[in-house]
Amino acid sequence: MREVDLAVVGAGPAGLTAAIEGAKRGYSTVVLDMNPRPGGQLIKQIHKFFGSREHRAGTRGIEIADTLFYEAASAGVEVIVEAEVYAIHDSTLEVVVQTFAEDSLILPSEEATTSRSRPLSIAARRIVLATGGAENALSFAGWTLPGVMGAGAAQTMINLWRVLPGERILMVGAGNVGLIVSYQLMQAGGEVVAVIEATPRIGGYGVHAAKIRRAGIPILTSHTIVSASGESRVERAVIAKVDASWEIVPGSEQELEVDTICIAVGLYPNARLASLAGCELHYFPGLGGWIPVHNSRMETTVSGIYVAGDLSGVEEASTALEEGRLAGICAAASLGKERAGDHDEIKAIEGRLLGLRSGPFCQHRQDAKQELIGIGEAQCPQQ
Amino acid sequence: MSPAINPPSYPSQQELRNAPGYPSQKRLEKGPVVAIECIEEIPCNPCEQACPQHAITIGEPITNCPHLDEDKCIGCGLCVSQCPGLAIFLIDLTHSQGSASVAFPHEYLPLPKEGQTVRAVNRAGEPICSATVVRVQNPKTNGQTPVVTVAMPRKYATEVRGILRAQGGKKNGG
């Protein structure tokens, strides 16, 4: 049994910043991530980020991942990759570490260096869950055919593994993910035949829509996918108009010759581990679904377990960076060594989060988070 | 709600004329100036820091649309590659007798070559005229966002926002 002060699950922007804050305060900190490389979704974000300079706007996500990882490593954080946490009980994380490729980015620990798949138990005084989000599925006739995939999966294929999933692509969903992945599929050499969106509005930023429009890709709003078909994989898709009550407009069907259909219809918080750990969940559709109830210090209804990032409401990398920092500082402070500057730092983070959650695109998230934290303040352990 | 830019999913001339980041016709006539086609209140401000002349202001809150001080803008174009939304264009109506130039971010390979004749496209991706590639700039400070400048007949300068991509012999997507 290993013992650490702080264990963080998930090495994305929220998990890494939480760990950095813990380690900076002198606490032994370990981060566990099931993927072979730390960074979470940042490692496939090849576009320049929005936001402000303090959120590294203008920098590509992949570069932010590298910076965060080195920052964590130099703060003394131990990052164990290819490590899946499958249970949490009595402050102990049960982990299975899958493989240890010679060249994987592991900072080796004493216990975990040898075998290809071995169990590991870690007793942690505090836990930060930063398990991120997962893609919503969409079912339609033919949706199980090879060639139908999440937009995030396609993005992983092109940007991480450099494999183009197909040559003629239909993107379903015009939120930021659908628009950005469409752009990146073009950069990778694919042809995006169309982006369709069931609602009458483009959900993503106008600038993302504009850059794929000037590349000649049509964005069809009030359109849905009816079916996919093909011999052994996707060969065509049928799309159709939908009316105000989401019914297909008869006769509006059109067939598109495509070999790949990407689904970008939103993300939900990956709350399975939080749920297993006994954290109370609450349903917030505006934040993606079931979310662990937490207070303003990001602590859940289970004392000592904190959350951050998409798990505590699907938002963006910039908010994840801030929430991770907040969770890390609060978790560390609760271990007894509140530093002189902690209070001011927390106030500054809260101010920046407020800024990120303002404006017509983001205000609804602020409202939902406020409601969530309101519930959390009543239900979560008091300081 | 923010200004509706859908359909057709890019800003209309009317929306651009009202946008605080879009230069006046008078300023455009004077020579190189940027056009910031960012009309939604999204949390983003790298353009503000990119401008050495302090001609771009976002301020607080960060969701403000960028405001261009068109008299301060000297048309250096340094902001073009720095906008994460690829929404800034450098327009020079005084490029030469009868022709104008437009510079835009172009994150596709292969890059066009200087001197090459290309098809210039409008905001809807429709080819509207022939253009000549004047410059292809990709210094390290661009952060891997190459900026391509093309020259075309003057009347197209407020419409041209890109070029047909070279796609290994295939035509433009869509």
Identify the CATH number of the domain in which residue B93 sits: 3.30.70.20
In a domain, B144, yes or no: yes
pLDDT value at residue A119: 80
In a domain, B73, yes or no: yes
Cα–Cα distance between B86 and A211 in angstroms, integer? 7
Label the pairing between strands B117-121 and B162-163: antiparallel
Structure-model confidence comparison of residues A111 and A196, the more confident one: A196
Which of B47, B117, B112 shows the shortest CA–CA distance to B76?
A: B47
In a domain, B8, yes or no: no
Q: Are B41 and B64 in contact (CB under 8 A)?
A: yes
Q: Which among A189, A201, A216 has CB closest to B172?
A: A216
Q: Are A150 and A262 in contact (CB under 8 A)?
A: yes
pLDDT value at residue A92: 83
Confidence of residue B8 (pLDDT cuts 50, 70, 90): low
pLDDT of residue A196 exceeding 80:
yes
Q: Are A248 and A267 in contact (CB under 8 A)?
A: no
pLDDT digits 0-9 by tens, B106-137: 999 999 999 999 999 999 999 999 999 999 99
What average pLDDT does this structure show over A209-238?
96
Which of B65, B93, B106 shows the shortest CA–CA distance to B156?
A: B93
What average pLDDT does this structure show over A374-383?
83
pLDDT value at residue A102: 45
Put simply, whether B49 touches A (Cβ < 8 Å) is yes
Which of B119, B32, B115, B29 shows the shortest CA–CA distance to B79?
A: B32
What residues of chain B lie within 8 A of the CB of A241, using their CB?
A: none
- DSSP-derived letter for residue B2 is P
Please state the φ and ψ torsions of residue A187, each to the nearest 5 degrees.
Answer: -60, -30
Confidence of residue A363 (pLDDT cuts 50, 70, 90): confident
Rg, chain A, Cα only: 21
In a domain, B27, yes or no: yes
Put simply, whether B107 touches A (Cβ < 8 Å) is yes
pLDDT digits 0-9 by tens, B22-79: 999 999 999 999 999 999 988 889 999 999 999 999 998 888 999 999 999 999 999 9
pLDDT of residue A187 exceeding 90:
yes
Structure-model confidence comparison of residues A60 and A92, the more confident one: A60
pLDDT value at residue B52: 97
Q: ipTM, 2 decimals? A: 0.92
What residues of chain B lie within 8 A of the CB of A193, using their CB?
A: 173-174
Report the amino acid identity of residue A370: Q
pLDDT of residue A144 exceeding 60:
yes
The length of chain B in residues reads 174
Worst-scoring range by mean pLDDT, A238-247, B6-15, B97-106? B6-15
Report the amino acid identity of residue B44: C
Cα–Cα distance between A337 and A25 in angstroms, integer? 8
- Rounded to the nearest integer, the mean pLDDT of chain A is 91
Q: Which domains does chain A have, with CATH numbers?
A: 2-134+268-379 (3.50.50.60), 138-264 (3.50.50.60)
pLDDT value at residue B4: 38
Q: Are A115 and A101 in contact (CB under 8 A)?
A: no
- Rounded to the nearest integer, the mean pLDDT of chain B is 91
In a domain, B22, yes or no: yes
In a domain, B5, yes or no: no
pLDDT digits 0-9 by tens, A254-272: 999 999 999 999 999 999 9
Give the residue numbers spanning the domain of B125: 13-163
Give the bridge partners for B50, in sequence order: none
pLDDT value at residue A116: 60
A74: number of Cβ within 10 Å: 10
In a domain, B2, yes or no: no
Put simply, whether B139 touches A (Cβ < 8 Å) is no
pLDDT of residue A362 exceeding 90:
no
Using a CB–CB cut-off of 8 Å, the residues of A that contact B are 47-53, 57-60, 186-187, 189-194, 200-202, 205-211, 213-219, 221, 318, 355-356, 358-362
Q: Which among B1, B10, B46 has CB closest to A210?
A: B10
pLDDT digits 0-9 by tens, A163-180: 999 999 999 999 999 999
In a domain, B91, yes or no: yes
A317: number of Cβ within 10 Å: 24
Cα–Cα distance between A146 and A232 in angstroms, integer? 7
Contact: A202, B6; criterion CB under 8 Å: yes
Cα–Cα distance between B154 and B96 in angstroms, integer? 9
pLDDT of residue B3 exceeding 50:
no
pLDDT value at residue A105: 46
Look at chain B and report how many structural domains it folds into: 1
Give the C-alpha distances (Å, rounded to integers) separating B38 from A6, B87, B101: 43, 6, 20
Which of A60, A191, A199, A205 to probe the B interface (max B CBs under 10 A)? Answer: A205
Cα–Cα distance between A335 and A332 in angstroms, integer? 5
